[in-house]
Chains A and B, each alone.
Chain A
Amino acid sequence: MSGQQLRIDEYRIETEPYYLATGDELAVAEAAYADGSPLLLKGPTGCGKTRFMEYLAWYLKRPLVTVSCHDDLSTSDLVGRYLIRSGEAVWTDGPLTMAVRAGAICYLDEVVEARKDTTVVIHPLADDRRQLPIEKRGELLTAPNEFMLAVSYNPGYQSVLKDLKASTRQRFVALSFDYPEADMEAEIVCTEAGVDASLAKSLVKLAGMTRGLKDSGLPEGASTRLLIQTGKLIGRGISVKTACRAAISEALTDDKELLAAMDEMISSLF
């Protein structure tokens, strides 16, 4: 068990992550934590969902166990499995079990990517039972008060296949995230990437323009994360246009015409 304790400590966040609140999301999340309700974060990619979870974990002084979900994620990947070690079957906790035992925050990133039958395993954890049955061991774990479950997904993908089941989503307190207002976003880029305010403002403007290309074949525009990356590149001495092209336009699309159009935007702005 001490090994477990050591492992969970690695998930603690010691220094305060930078997070600029855009609304009352922190108050809602704190209240949900106090009530033992699970949290659902939705919003486009790179808008600060994961950063918010890090901040929340730091704020609540709980370790944060993050699982990036994918379509091959099985129940035992979450809960745990027996492994054979030197001729013996040894049980190993999965990240979810580990988080429940330690009273940590378990954050399932992009939960819609996981198979539907896998998501069902969180159901008893996500309602007032707050239990995790580990069938293979015949164990029923009850989550301590400190434990919190959080999931995130991106509703922008708009695929019938990739939607949360109603029975899953109705267990959560949902927080909707979006790209911050231009001023705030500029402040974030400014702080995170260490660029000057006017450059940050122009980068945000560029992001706004790419977000307007939805009807022209760009499903998602540049995220705040991309802007920060761009800013960092610029900070390392890459020229603004090259950085924008490398970190924004090329990252967003392969389409020649859209690339050309974004080049025009970049040359207009800088």
Chain B
Amino acid sequence: MELEVLKERFFEIVAPSIPNEWDVEEALGPLASDEAEYVDDIFSQIPAIWPVSHSLCFAYLHAAGPALCCLDTDELSLWVHSLLDRYETGGLRAAQHFMENVEQQFACYRRGEGGLRLVDVRGRLQPYVNGLAGRELTLITADMPSTDGESLFLPGEIGVFSEQDSNFLLYKLMASFQWACLDGGTFEAPAHLPLKKKQAHPLDCFFSEFDSPANARCLFHFFETARILQYLREELPGLMRQAAPLLDQLMQDEADSSSLLSRLQDGLLHNHWLDEGTSVVDDTARQLVATVVESAKDNSGSLDAVRELMPLVDVHENFENTKPLVFQGKLRLQEMRNLGLRAKMDKELRMMQSAHLPPVLQQTPKEQQPANGGQQQGQDAAMIIDIETALEQLPPFMHSQMNLESALPEEKNSQTTEPGQSATTENTVNANEGSGGQVFAKEGQGGRGGEPEHFEPIVYDEWDFRRKGFRKNWCVVREKEVTPVKNTFMEKTLTQYRGHIRRLRHQFERLQTSERFVRRQREGSDIDFDAVVESMSDMQAGRHGSDRLFIRLAREQRDIAVYFLVDMSNSTAGWVGQSIKEALVLICEAMEVLNDRYGIYGFSGMRRLRCEVFPVKRMDERYSQTVRERISAIGPREYTRMAPAIRHMTSLFSTVEAKVRLLIVLSDGKPEDYDDYKGDYAIEDTRHALLEAKAQGIHPFCITIDRQAHEYMDHMYGEVNYIFIDKIKQLPARMSEIYRSLTS
């Protein structure tokens, strides 16, 4: 095909963007010689790739031709799918690497060949490991198996054996072995070397006593391996029985008898020892292994063995040249040490924060210091205990203050917020507000030490309709506190809608659990005398009397949980936002007479990495003064990336148990973000998020004031699941009405 023709088609596809002509020429050059049908296939994928990354698209055009040598044309879209996944997880380089080797990276997996990947077995292996450990031990990809006490590191792919079952078994063995090291006490500090702050791991201190610490370390690891294998044989006999043939196969071919360690490994795995009397070192080692395996209950046996064997080892031996056994991996003593320290520091920090009043805390250790005087060693421990007990040492009025903190956040905010801050200033600060808000949150955290988990970002996938697949871990959603604002809005609204609220409450009250007597039942708490009389007269008349003689009290309980998700985008500035807020007040006032659980969240944000969700009222929170002030504080912020917020609500709903779970979205327009999140892409993503919600048994419903709503709402929510409100002034009144009709 002519290059000019190709160029023209390419520009058509990527319009309205206009890439550099020479880039396009360069990328399309190799395709010019290809068959037309191939080119059509290759071009058909451009719309999926171009919006993600232009450079990726050019790279793809380069690679697609050669790729088609080993791919069927109908596999191409799958390949592109994986390519985009790679790009999004590992960047352009990972994607290029993926494209360079189509056969190895993609095709062989398609055919079910190649190794077993950790990602494919994680679903099975992770709960297995958690079950073994009784806690979460995250599986992380690494070159060699190892553990740092909080995570297990396993290779990303195992292709040692030709059967996948064996490869999986090896994964399982690796994971079990690493767990057993933790559980069996390989990393325990020896009794004579206590764990100290600002020092290497005690075991490392032990190794450093030898001429060659590295050799000592390897030997220790070997003896521990022998012990842990025995431990596994006792703890998990089934696994070891299954794995026995596997262990036999391991290292069979690469046994190298020149190094002592590799001779020992061979001895341990295959029971091939040097003949007795050949070498003193080997004989001693063999006996030591036997002792460790038979009698050692903790790592002290291995330490003794190292102590005994090291003087006999030839100075020229370098055990680091010997590959560790494949499941054995390496010891991560330093990481383990750091982790221990970090956990301690985290704890200290948390205590500091939760104690709320740093000055008091700073004093406490000082007061204690003289008492501890010269006891350097006890100092660290003492300090930690101090912080832990500091809470108890605080005066009682501070206890209550801390308990009240969650109930009365306006108090803490009065300390951190500038006195003049009000809703109006909030409304005027727009684009800069985001970053300013973040800084503020950071500053605030130390002081108020709220619950930090509220600020933990959560990552959600995003649906890309062009490739009919998810962009993995694409959007970062943060929950951000809304600073409660004291102003006259609440009062004004309550006065303005006084009559309305009273009427609403009355209407809502009637929605509440209806108790009614059901007559003429076979069973019930009371006798239905009408039925009895009737039945008896029937019998008198010689007819068959009914046995439905009881009254039963039927209670229809409402079991409804609802989240209101409020658009806080910039476009809601002015009377739209005002009406939305009024509507929220009205619905809250009315909801108070119902037992329905409800939560209110606002959402806004800018770009995928900063989607923000603002809890105005959490599901389990009371409709308190703070919540009222948070409603007053709702104001326009940035853009409308709706789907991540919906996905967040869906995940919040997963912890809520209710017969009816309702998600009511209040919006003023199409989903849209600062980047290219707009148009069909945004609508399709939102639609998909709603479908996901529906799959979870949540009923989404949208109240919109966008005049163009009919064009896309049908598609997003389904015909009957949204309502368009023409006159914004009606919103407050209509919303409660809508809620009532939705739930009755």
Contacts and interface: CB of A to CB of B under 8 A. Distances in A.
Interface in A207-263: 208-213, 215-218, 257-258, 260-262
A205 interface: yes
A261 B128 contact: yes
Interface in B131-177: 131-136, 172, 176
Given A215-B130, A216-B131, A261-B125, 17 more contacts: A84-B527, A87-B536, A89-B527, A160-B597, A209-B134, A212-B130, A212-B132, A212-B134, A216-B126, A257-B123, A261-B124, A262-B131, A264-B125, A264-B172, A265-B128, A265-B131, A270-B237
B737 interface: no
B532 interface: yes
Interface residues of A, number: 36
Interface of A: 74-76, 81-82, 84, 87, 89, 115, 136, 159-161, 205, 208-213, 215-218, 257-258, 260-262, 264-270
Contacts of A205: 235
Nearest to A74: B525
Nearest to B130: A216
A1 to B, nearest CB: 23
Contacts of A159: 657
Contact of A261 (B131, B526, B527): B131
A217 B123 CA distance: 12
B149 to A, nearest CB: 16
A161 B559 CA distance: 10
13 contacts: A76-B525, A82-B527, A84-B549, A87-B539, A160-B597, A209-B131, A212-B134, A212-B135, A262-B131, A264-B124, A267-B239, A268-B172, A269-B238
Contacts of B738: none
B212 to A, nearest CB: 37
B135 A82 contact: no
Interface residues of B, number: 35
A212 B133 contact: yes
B238 A216 contact: no
B242 interface: yes
B236 interface: yes
Given A257-B124, A266-B238, A267-B242, A208 B527 contact: no
A112 B536 CA distance: 40
Nearest to A265: B131
B78 interface: no
Contacts of B555: 115
A74 B539 CA distance: 31
Contacts of B132: 209, 212, 265
A211 B657 contact: no
Contacts of A211: 134
Of all A-B residue pairs in the complex, the 9 with the closest CB atoms, nearest first, are A212-B134, A261-B127, A209-B131, A268-B239, A76-B525, A257-B123, A216-B127, A268-B236, A261-B128
A260 B401 CA distance: 49
Contacts of A262: 127, 131
Nearest to A117: B555
B525 A81 contact: yes
B134 A208 contact: yes
A161 B657 contact: yes
B238 A270 contact: yes
Contacts of B136: 215-216
Nearest to B239: A268
A130 B157 CA distance: 68
A257 B124 CA distance: 5
B276 interface: no
Contacts of B527: 82, 84, 89
Contacts of B126: 216, 261
Contacts of B125: 261, 264
Contacts of B536: 87
B238 A268 contact: yes
B209 interface: no
A74 B521 CA distance: 15
Given A261-B125, A264-B172, A269 B236 contact: yes
Contacts of B239: 267-269
B173 to A, nearest CB: 9
- By CB atoms of chain B within 10 A, which of A215, A264, A269 has the most? A264
B540 to A, nearest CB: 10
Contacts of A74: 525, 553
Contacts of A76: 525-526
A209 B525 CA distance: 47
B620 interface: yes
Nearest to B549: A84
A208 B134 CA distance: 7
Contacts of B525: 74-76, 81
A216 B136 CA distance: 8
B529 to A, nearest CB: 10
Contacts of A213: 127, 130-131
A81 B526 CA distance: 7
Interface string B116-129: 00000001111110
A211 B597 CA distance: 31
